[in-house]
């Protein structure tokens, strides 16, 4: 049973345009959400996070939006650049997991392709 | 300077062998983790460990055991390797439980 879902396996966006990656979750205990970026043969790299007390967090070209009532978050990248081509993973955890018992729960990832 | 490092990057071995993957972090973090990314690309937690306790995902076979010689290291030992153990294994660390985790580059294990 997937608790974090990324329903788009891939997304193709033209350079300079906005990329929007979506993520849905089912576990109401999740309070902390993260996006990771992964290049082939490398480990996931932390990109941006948001806690449930906020509905938006911005860092440069990257903005994460959280709609807690809909259990939905999205990552906006604007403007998209060729170096943004990678697999993006959405992840979630209870903010205070009381021992790290569950680690992070990951979605399956979305492969973002930026076209010139 | 690499924050979270793993060795080896690739590991090819025969069924039934025992192998280890090493992980080191130089971030001064308190908690370390092991994840497995299977053929379907799902990243799943296997263990989390800090100096207080080890938390094991109940789905992980007891052939897998993490060993922490010190706070900066969490090695993964696998006994009696099986074909289904073939996957990419990622080590990660965080400052406190549940905080942002930083990942190593991964170790691709192939069991023949």
Q: What pLDDT, in 10s, does the model give residues A80-93?
A: 999 999 999 999 98
DSSP code at position A68? T
Confirm if B47 and B34 have CB atoms less than 8 A apart: yes
Q: What is the pLDDT of residue A98?
A: 43
Residue B3 CA to residue B28 CA, distance in Å, equals 10
Tell me the average pLDDT across B13-38.
94
Tell me the average pLDDT across B91-107.
85
- Which pLDDT band, with edges at 50, 70 and 90, does A100 fall under? very low
Print the SS3 string covering A34-65: EEEEECCCCCCEEEEEEECCCCEEEECCEEEE
Tell me the average pLDDT across B25-51.
87
Tokens in use for A17?
């345009």
Cβ count near A53 (within 10 Å): 10
Q: Say if the Cβ atoms of B33 and A100 lie within 8 Å.
A: yes
Q: What is the pLDDT of residue B99?
A: 73
Residue A103 CA to residue A99 CA, distance in Å, equals 9
Tell me the average pLDDT across B4-20.
96
Q: What is the pLDDT of residue B97?
A: 61
Cβ count near B98 (within 10 Å): 23
Sorted by sequence, the CB contacts under 8 Å of residue B51 that are 6+ apart come out as B30, B71
- Compute the mean pLDDT over every residue in chain B, rounded to the nearest whole number: 90
Cβ count near B25 (within 10 Å): 23
Which of helix, strand or coil describes residue A82? helix
Tell me the average pLDDT across B68-82.
94
- Which pLDDT band, with edges at 50, 70 and 90, does B84 fall under? very high
CA distance A29 to chain B (A): 12
- Asked if the C-beta of A1 comes within 8 angstroms of chain B's C-beta atoms, the answer is no
Q: Say if the Cβ atoms of A43 and B52 lie within 8 Å.
A: no
In chain A, the residue whose alpha carbon lies closest to the alpha carbon of B95 is A100
Summarised one tens digit per residue, pLDDT across range A33-58 is 999 999 988 899 999 999 889 999 99
């Amino acid at each position: 049973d997937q608790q974090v879902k990324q329903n788009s396996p891939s997304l193709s966006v033209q350079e300079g345009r906005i990329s929007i990656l979506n993520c849905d979750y089912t576990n109401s205990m999740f309070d902390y959400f993260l996006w990771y970026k992964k290049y082939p043969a490398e480990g996931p790299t932390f990109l941006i996070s948001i806690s449930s007390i906020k509905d938006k967090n911005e860092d440069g070209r990257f903005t994460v939006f959280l709609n807690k009532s809909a259990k939905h978050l999205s990552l906006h990248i604007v403007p998209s650049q060729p170096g943004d081509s990678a697999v993006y993973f959405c992840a979630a955890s209870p903010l205070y997991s009381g021992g790290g018992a569950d680690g992070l729960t990951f979605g399956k990832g979305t492969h973002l392709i930026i076209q010139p | 300077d690499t924050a979270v490092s793993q060795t080896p990057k690739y590991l090819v071995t025969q069924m039934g062998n025992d192998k280890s993957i090493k992980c080191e972090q130089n971030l001064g973090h308190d908690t370390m983790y092991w994840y497995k990314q299977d053929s379907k690309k799902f990243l799943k937690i296997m263990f989390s460990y800090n100096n207080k306790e080890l938390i094991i995902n109940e789905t992980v076979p007891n052939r897998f055991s993490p060993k922490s010689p010190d706070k900066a290291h969490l090695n993964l030992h696998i006994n009696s390797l099986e074909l289904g153990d073939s996957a990419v294994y990622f080590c990660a660390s965080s400052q406190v439980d549940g905080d942002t985790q930083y990942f190593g580059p991964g170790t691709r294990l192939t069991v023949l």
